[in-house]
Amino acid sequence: MNTSTPASSVATRTVAALLFALPLFALAADPLPSWNEGPTKTGILEFVQTVTTPDSKGFVAPEARIAVFDNDGTLWSEQPGYFEALYAFDEIRRMADQHPEWKDRQPFKAVIENDHKALAEAGMEGLVEIFMATHAGLTTDEFRDNVQRWLSTARHPTSGKPYTEMVYQPMLEVLAYLRSQGFKPYIVSGGDTGFMRVFAEEVYGIPPEQVIGSSFVTQYQVKDGKPSILRTAKIAHNDDGPGKPVSIDSVIGRRPILAFGNSDGDLQMLQWTAAGTGPRFMGLVHHTDAKREWAYDRDSTIGRLDKALDQAKQQNWTIVDMASQWRHIYPFESGANEQQP
């Protein structure tokens, strides 16, 4: 009598066992491999587990799992200047031949001649004028094409890398982890909405409808029989500071349960998130790594972190010390992606 088990039955049981084990493998995989072990990493994982476990007292339905992230200094670097400002300066230089009057007119003259002192003296009014010249008077398609062209050729002045590679590997992992757990992440940043939408989906996995930023007044027009949306030289919304919770309320319509920022411009967004009921997670990326990135906070003119840092300590929000808590900063660092699940 033959008592051996048919090969097909063995194969079936093997496949069944593997299918049963896959969820366990997924749980065992580290979703945040670029984060060093410690309270911050544990806090992120425990918060997500709390709000996604059905029998947990802190369970949050998937539709309410809203997470918001600042962009500059939170998802990608912002030194030696905001990348969108560096784009605007490059655009002024590119357009200079079409505007000979700029050679003798500030602040354009300062940009063309790379005169940092004169540019600083022009102040915020000068920067606004530069942005109006490079961001307005264009259709949304024209502006998108300009940004795409710049991103494909421009290189960061320090690293020599494309700007879209100057993103934080640990934060990419947070975004991926949250999505895998039913969260809907949004970018809520002071940058121009149209500028960020060009790269947000490819770089962060965040689609254009989940990108909220500052915006210009736009208007519909038909030119030469072709409909388009014109970006006018008038600011519609400044999505910084108190403007962030306003836009979150008007665009999303739900209060976030998780928020990440890095500067005082994110304070009100963090406060708005913290003021809700149930489990909340508020995080600040603290730039403390002068060797691998930059070290700055209270005295910086870019990404100033002062009042928000104090309140984070007082309210026991999570402060991410980049130097000690991030194993890798950028995806292009050696070994940065080797442990990705």
Query: pLDDT of 296-334, one tens digit each?
Result: 999 999 999 999 999 999 999 999 999 999 999 999 997
With cut-offs at 50, 70 and 90, classify the pLDDT of residue 23: very low
Residues of the chain with CATH 3.40.50.1000: 33-80+166-325
187: left (phi over 0), alpha (psi -120 to 50) or beta: beta
User: Is the C-alpha dihedral spanning 301, 324, 33, 255 positive or negative?
Assistant: negative
How many angstroms separate the CA atoms of 186 and 181, rounded? 15
The residues, ordered by sequence, that sit 6+ positions from 45 with a Cβ below 8 Å of its Cβ are: 31, 32
What integer pLDDT is reported at residue 335 of this predicted model? Answer: 74
How many angstroms separate the CA atoms of 307 and 330, rounded? 27
**DSSP alpha helix (H) spans, 154-190:** 169-180
Compute the chain's Rg from CA coordinates.
Answer: 23
Q: 33-80+166-325, what's its fold?
A: Rossmann fold (3.40.50)
Q: Which two tokens stand for residue 82?
A: 């905001």
pLDDT in tens, 63-108: 999 999 999 999 999 999 999 999 999 999 999 999 999 999 999 9
What integer pLDDT is reported at residue 202 of this predicted model? Answer: 98
Cα 313 to the center of its chain, rounded Å:
23
**DSSP alpha helix (H) spans, the chain:** 7-28, 39-52, 83-95, 108-112, 116-135, 140-153, 169-180, 193-197, 200-204, 243-247, 267-274, 307-315, 322-325
How many angstroms separate the CA atoms of 288 and 276, rounded? 30
Q: Which residues pair with 254 in a beta bridge?
A: none
Residue given tokens 């010390």 in the structure block: 321
The residues, ordered by sequence, that sit 6+ positions from 126 with a Cβ below 8 Å of its Cβ are: 106, 107, 110, 119
Write down the pTM of the prediction. Answer: 0.90
Residue given tokens 């990108």 in the structure block: 211
Are 164 and 72 a contacting pair, CB within 8 Å? no
* More confident position, 1 or 153: 153
pLDDT in tens, 257-278: 999 999 999 999 999 999 999 9
pLDDT in tens, 104-137: 999 999 999 999 999 999 999 999 999 999 999 9
